[in-house]
Amino acid sequence: MAYDYFISTIDSNDKIKIPEWISERDDRMESYTSNGEVDYRGSFTGDELIQLANNYAEMWGDAMNSFHADLQNKGLAYIKNAETDQFTLSAIYWSSGEY
């Protein structure tokens, strides 16, 4: 299954696309049905997301392509510039059209 990953603040629906920092199958992600597709979401602090992003970058190292590096940088900037420390990470099935 192909998922796109997004982060947003708890109080906002402004989603920022990110690389796959965490699997949709992780225990911290809860499934829900949207437009007939199973999507996932979980609540995380900024520090937790930064750690997930760092783990992702470490895992891929120099093999990370420019597209994913750009998503990585935009996601980290979003976290650092947010006025909150509570975020939602979503895994949206690519055909669901929910983003």
Phi, psi (rounded to 5 degrees) for 97 = 70, 15
Token pair 């192909």 in the structure block, residue: 2
**CA–CA separation, 99 vs 80, rounded Å?**
22
pLDDT at 95: 64
Is pLDDT at 97 greater than 60 in this prediction? Answer: no
Residue range 30-46: mean pLDDT, rounded:
94
The CA-to-CA distance between both ends of the chain, in Å, stands at 17
Angle CA 45–88–59, to nearest 5: 70
The residue ranking higher by pLDDT, 37 or 63, is 37
pLDDT at 96: 45
Enumerate the H helices of 1-99 as residue ranges: 46-60, 66-81
Is pLDDT at 12 greater than 80 in this prediction? Answer: no
